[in-house]
Chains A and B, each alone.
Chain A
Amino acid sequence: MKIKWPNVILFFGYMFLYFPLICIVVYSFNESRLVSVWSGFSLKWYKALLSDPIILRATFTSLKVATISATVSVVIGTIAAIVITRFHGFRGKSLFIGAVTAPLVMPEVVLGLSILMLFVGMEKIFGWPAGRGTTTVIIAHITLTLSYVTMLVQARLQDFDRSIEEAALDLGASPLKVFFVITLPMIFPSIVLGWLLAFALSLDDVVIASFVAGPGATTLPMIVFSSLRFGISPEINALATILMTVLSIGVIIAAIAVHRKNSQQGISTE
């Protein structure tokens, strides 16, 4: 049998991408603490994880921060995307586009440091935000995720057929009504994807959170990061497995839903 080189490349490429993750999942069920010993299947690390009050509190904080920041980010990001694609000829438009997309390329260390310096300065002048806590993390995460959401929604707005919007306007619908009846349903899949991406980014961020989080606002990645400095541990394996499972299931469900919605629209516009 002749060996097909594309299949060989794909095999090694995907091995490289997935082997490390599979290792984590497998060893999260290992009874022994050591990687070298496989002493049987066990769920004890999951039990240990779920009864750890510090981890549970950090998870709750992280979920709260991610939910709020993703929601605000989607609202502001959608508005920014509409401004970029639909509004023409206002002063400083190119500056607007540049400033909205710039956080995409900002190193996280710089973004975290600069936003912290802003908070310290504001506290000195206005007395707000008094100290640092969950609110400061949420604000920083909105700034981080805003550009991603704007880019996603903007790409979708640029794709779709403007004649439907124009027809509705010609038939006398108000711009607001056109937005809610026509534009919003059309761009909804990308809004959902944007929300998920913002949520995942916020749930994942350790650098910015370390700069702006107060004493009471330790997020889950901060806990994971500080325990990783001491090397590998089976509890983290279990935590990583749970996170990976939840995030991949969420992404796959969203991808299928978006795909279905797209193909539906494809049929209806034909």
Chain B
Amino acid sequence: MYRIEELIIYRLTNLAKKITGRNFLISLPSAWIIVFFLCPCFILLKISLSDSVISSPPYTSLVDWISGNVLQIRLNLGNYMSLLSNEMYMRGFATSVLIAGASTICCLLIGFPMALAIVRSSPKVRAMLLTLVILPFWTSFLIRVYAWLMLLSPSGFINSFLMKFHLIDAPLQLMNNSYAACIGIIYAYLPFMIFPLYSAIEKIDYTLIEAAYDLGSSPMTAFFSIVVPLAMPGIYAGSALVFVPAIGEFVIPELLGGAQTLTIGRLVWNEFFGNLSWPTAAALSIILLMFVVFPIVLAQRRKEIRLLRDVR
């Protein structure tokens, strides 16, 4: 007969022997990700299904022991229901999707010609141009948003400039609207669009375009029937890289968008810090995650379809 302590020690040493080398290396990052990323996600889901109460922490628990031997699990879908029936939140979703979509399209329209022009330049200049695209990304994000505050605000650069030359009498209302939020997002995420576009366009065989010219096609036809289809992977990747962070953006619409540009990110923030309603904030976050996951799944499926086609 083993004594219980001996058994435990035996089991633990066995476990310790197993956790050597390879297993230790796997378990260290796994443990971090499980505790500080996956657990929080489950807690978020859990709190989104609970009731809001005035206590600390301000939500009810899902699992209760009732009269000693009944385990009751209550899932409250009310948070989601009230979000989906409230006009303010629905407008928030629409605003977020519209701003993110418009910014993505604008990034594409600005980024595509830039990427083309960078590919066309000589290799030495190209390296420098690419560094210059990425450099603002390394300077602070907050500073890049502030730069537009500096340009657009009533006492900012553009208004001061126009008033000095008496082109306008009173400052124009350039910020605190959704256009300003769009400009901020385009400015902040343009490098994310240019890089994938650049690497897709760079791979295009230039002789194909020359062949099209030789066969008598106009530059426009050559562009739309050769360059654009071959750059498609870059267009998808770049659009996803802009749309995904743009939809959950908080700082840019908060600083440039004014009170009426209520995006999902701002709604989550307001529910948490303003209304102290944790369950509503959690439910909004879960819905926001769905908006983020959807384009990624779409891009992933496109990639798989393309791979299948290539294999055949």
Contacts and interface: CB of A to CB of B under 8 A. Distances in A.
Interface stretch (B5-13, B30-38, B87-95, B199-207): B30-38
Contact of B26 (A34, A90, A107, A118): A90
Contacts of A110: 44, 248, 268, 285, 288-289
A83 B114 contact: no
Interface stretch (B63-71, B138-146, B231-239): B138-146
A68 interface: no
Contact of B43 (A76, A87, A107, A121): A121
B146 A100 contact: no
A92 to B, nearest CB: 8
| Interface band, chain A | 35 or more
Contacts of A99: 33-34, 37-38
Contact of B250 (A109, A121, A143): A109
Given A20-B147, A255-B131, A221 B140 contact: yes
Contacts of A114: 40-41, 43-44, 285
Nearest to B120: A6
A97 to B, nearest CB: 11
A248 B248 contact: no
A236 B250 CA distance: 20
B57 to A, nearest CB: 5
A38 B125 CA distance: 36
A108 interface: yes
B289 A248 contact: no
Given A6-B116, A204-B141, A36 B164 contact: yes
A255 B131 CA distance: 9
A147 to B, nearest CB: 9
B244 to A, nearest CB: 5
Given A16-B110, A109-B265, A10 B36 contact: no
Contacts of B269: 109
A58 interface: no
Contact of A251 (B114, B138, B272): B138
A20 B150 contact: yes
B305 interface: no
Nearest to A143: B36
Contact of A107 (B38, B140, B147, B288): B288
Given A35-B160, A99-B37, A107-B248, A117 B138 contact: no
Interface stretch (A47-55, A162-170, A226-234): A226-234
B292 interface: yes
Interface in A1-57: 5-7, 9-10, 13-14, 16-18, 20-21, 23-24, 27, 34-36
18 contacts: A6-B121, A9-B117, A13-B117, A16-B190, A23-B151, A34-B160, A35-B160, A82-B25, A96-B26, A105-B244, A107-B247, A107-B288, A109-B268, A110-B285, A203-B140, A207-B250, A231-B155, A251-B135
Q: 8 shortest A-B CB distances, which residue pairs?
A: A107-B248, A20-B147, A114-B40, A36-B160, A6-B117, A80-B29, A118-B40, A114-B44
